[in-house]
Chain A
Amino acid sequence: MLSFEVLGQTIVNGIAAASIYMMISLGLALVFGVMRVVNLAQGEFMMLAAFGSFWLFTLYGVDPYLSMVAMIPASLLLGYAVYRLIIRRLLGADDINQFLATFGLALMLQGIAQYLWSADLRRLPYVLPSLEVGDVTLAGVRVVNIGVCLAVLAFLAWFLGWTGIGRSVRATASNRMGAMLCGVDVRRVDATTFLLGTAISAVGGTMLALVYFVYPSVGAGLIFKGFAVVILGGMGSIAGVIVGSLVLGITEAMVNVYVSSQLSALVAFAVIFIVLVSRPQGLFGTAR
């Protein structure tokens, strides 16, 4: 049972799951880091993009990796509307109000998706051949997903490190007041950050559609994994998200195979509770 193949396969399964977790957590962490708003509707952005790619493939036969790109401008439009109408008004609002307003938005988007497309579980029938490495099987779409995830990380590193607006985003995240005093247009930074998060979620939505089912509440299930990752990595830390996703994905896969498949659902919740209680700043955050 404890053979090397099983261990290798389990770790690969975990990394594949982590690539999806990373997509939702990056959005959460960016928005929280800059605006101190927890956006519970982040998962619904993913869900809508997943449906978008699903329908483009089902109705017009568009390759999902093409719709992955096509979903970005669509998500930016939605993201901007949400930012202007809702998120901007929540800056500095009570925690409870932020939480519940974005929860309301999430429910509304789920309801709309269900109204339009029903609650059926759907699958995007797109396959790539699997790779065999020894006894470990790598599903084609999951391998590509991991690649896409690395590309997104590379883009993010370039954007935050080498562009002017990216530097403003980092400055605002580390000290909003200070950035404002230095003449950073924090409103522009807020909008940019939110849209960046939305776009990453849209890319993640297509990745999701390729490996999971597409249905209205698919994002709601993932947002909690996102919480676990963001809390584990330290709220708002990008490096934390990368490590947090890998830790969560691989731990879940290990518990699933070696302990109990039912208890693997507990990992994310246990992480949230234990980390918050014992080390609220997470692995990469600094104490507040």
Chain B
Amino acid sequence: MTSSSTPGGTLLALLPWLVALAIAAAVPLFLPIYMQRVAVTCLMFVTLGVSWNLSGGFAGQLSLGQAAFFGIGAYGSMITAEHVTSDLLTSIVVGGIVAGLCTPILFPAFRLRGIYLGMATFALGESMRVVAEKVFPGEASGLHTPVVFAVDSLAPYYWALGIAAFTIAVGAWTIRSRLGLGLMTVREDDQAARSIGVPVALYKAIVFAIGAFATGLAGGFYARYLGFIDPHSVFHLDHSINPVFVTIIGGIGTELGPIVGAIFWVILQEVLRGLTDTPAVNTIIYGLLLLVVILVVPRGIVGESQAIWRRIADRRRGRRTGKEIPVVAD
């Protein structure tokens, strides 16, 4: 997507996003209550996936510890709700900010790359869970606050949509800014990036902080939405793995990837639930999907579609100009 600098051009580039937002806003009006709940889960996956994709996809920094920020956000908002103010917006934003402020726990790991960074962040995420279980003793003695949303309220959906839209917008801005360009250089070769004057550590810190903030918002919202959290559920490894999973399925390093991946996975899960009551099947499909996507279509749904589209477009262009452009396999 190329955006021109004229105001009209910017508006034109924004148009598809605004249409998508309008459709997303209208969707719950046609959904039964249960499907609204599923849609909320889907939007949470979108938020987590998009924020992970910034660091993991565009900057190439494999982080497997997002659950730490999700959990911190959840506890931040619940503690605020219990002791300071039960205002929804305040408590959720506090959750996001607290999570963002915890980014420095990642700083020591910044010199690591690839699998080593993955393991270090993973260890960090799991450590946070163990520490939380110690600090908030009793596996099930989580925090409980009065439920905020009425049972047939559309509010949770719009909260989740708002957080997802905010994350997508921040992400879109990030990858189009100098910061984004710098990060993509880091992904290709961080030595080279450093040599052309990209402040690598600073940029990493900023992109991880953005991710932590968005993940914290999601955690904060989740906590208030559920009205009950315990260390086991909010620091769960799932919150580290799912964002990676939906991004890989959808297409890593593409803007639409995590969104498409999240929608695809949530719908597939619901269909599976209707087909079988054996939960193990779900696990098998999850694993199989991951394996097949990586071995067969590593670019994911969006990446692969784009590649096919480009090939078709190239061929058409070739036909118009009367000569064949050879398709180069990559």
Contact = CB atoms under 8 A, between A and B. Distances in A.
Nearest to A113: B280
Interface string A107-133: 111111011000000000000000000
B287 A105 contact: yes
Interface residues of A, number: 39
Interface string A266-288: 10111011001100100000000
Contact of B291 (A38, A95, A101, A269): A101
Interface in A220-270: 224, 227, 231, 260, 262-263, 265-266, 268-270
B291 A86 contact: yes
A252 B139 CA distance: 21
Contact of A272 (B123, B252, B294): B123
A104 B118 contact: no
B126 A269 contact: yes
Secondary structure of the B contact surface, majority rule: helix
A89 interface: yes
A270 B125 CA distance: 11
B115 A115 contact: no
B162 to A, nearest CB: 30
B286 interface: yes
B33 interface: no
A42 interface: no
Given A108-B288, A262-B130, A270-B127, A277 B283 contact: no
Contacts of B127: 266, 269-270, 273
B290 A107 contact: yes
Nearest to B57: A96
A118 to B, nearest CB: 8
A65 interface: no
Interface string A77-88: 000000000100
A69 interface: no
Given A101-B294, A231-B119, A263-B130, 9 more contacts: A38-B115, A99-B62, A100-B245, A104-B286, A224-B126, A272-B123, A276-B116, A277-B109, A280-B112
